Structure formats: structure tokens, C-alpha cells
Amino acid sequence: MNICTASMRDSCCHIINGTIPDFSPKYAFIDWDIDDEARTSYLPRMKTDIILQSDTRRLVIETKYYGKTMRTNYDRQMFISGHLYQIYAYVKNIDKKTTGNVAGVLLYAKTDETITPDDDLNIGGNRISLKTLDLNREWKGIKGQLDSLCEWLNLAKGT
């Protein structure tokens, strides 16, 4: 993780903790959902940037700070596959019983690109979101963007 990504993660934790204290943002290591625990020594460690948790749901937020938030392949704009695979692996290894109560967000710092991620997908029974955070906005706008990320968790509190 580079210094910009770490700074963005720390800023998001601070903002979320100050505005939505019920969810206690933290990072966490994720265990692989594997039958043979002895073989895990060869697997890379999975460490999230931020996890928020309500009584029944968890939201994994992976922050990204890159010059480009999308990639081009044969003149077609698309999400960066490695980032999508990463958040998908985190979500699926946390949601071992496939309850759908774990969601993931790839949160990118806004760039000058004309097309930036702003999508909510259901992949394999779990919500995966790709969002862009405009750090050049006024504080109220940044807070609003982060609050909207937590809406999924807030909905769970009412159920």
C-alpha cells in the first residue's frame, strides 16, 4: 500500500468514525475459506483497508488512489480487474456461508478522467460497489458521499 492509499484509508476511517460511530471502522485480516488449514502458509495474507459492521452486516471498503480509475482494452473502458478480484476475494472469504450479508466497496479517489466508477453490482449473491470520492469537494460533500456508502449498513439496523 502506498502512502496516498494509506492516507485515504485513514481519512475515511476518521470521517466515518466521526459521523457514524456505531460502525467502528477498522482494518482486519481475512482468513481464507479453505478446507486444509495446513496449506494456508502458502497463501497471501488478505488485509482490508476498512471494515464496518452492524449487528447483521459487514461492509468491506478497499481504498484506491491511482492516476487512473478505469482501464482501456480495445477502445473499451472497464474496471481494473485486479481490484475487482481483490474485493470479491475479501467479500467471499468473509461470507463463508453465502448469506449475502457482506458487501464490498472499491473506493477510488476522483481523478480528471471523464468516466469514473459509480456502480453497484450483485456478484455471486453479494453487493459489490465501485465508487469515486471527490476529495476536492467541500467537507459537507465528502461527508455526504461517505454517508451514502454506509446506507446499506444503516438499512440493516432497521431489520
CATH for 10: 3.40.1350.10
Domain encompassing residue 109: 3-157
153 within 8 A of 23, measured Cβ to Cβ? yes
Q: Mean pLDDT across the stretch 127-141?
A: 90
Q: What phi and psi, each to the nearest 5 degrees, are found at residue 106? A: -95, 115
Looking at per-residue confidence, does 20 or 82 come out higher?
82
What's the structural domain count of the chain?
1
91 within 8 A of 103, measured Cβ to Cβ? yes
pLDDT grade, residue 4 (50/70/90)?
very low
Helix/strand/coil for 159: coil
Helix (H) / strand (E) containing 86: helix 81-94
C-alpha Rg value of the chain to the nearest Å = 16
Task: Encode pLDDT of 111-125 as tens digits.
Answer: 888 888 889 999 999
What is the model's pLDDT at position 1?
47
Q: Which long-range contacts (CB under 8 A, 24 or more apart) does 81-88 make?
A: 84/128, 84/130, 86/62, 87/60, 87/62, 87/128, 88/123, 88/124, 88/128
pLDDT grade, residue 87 (50/70/90)?
very high
Which pTM does this prediction carry? 0.81
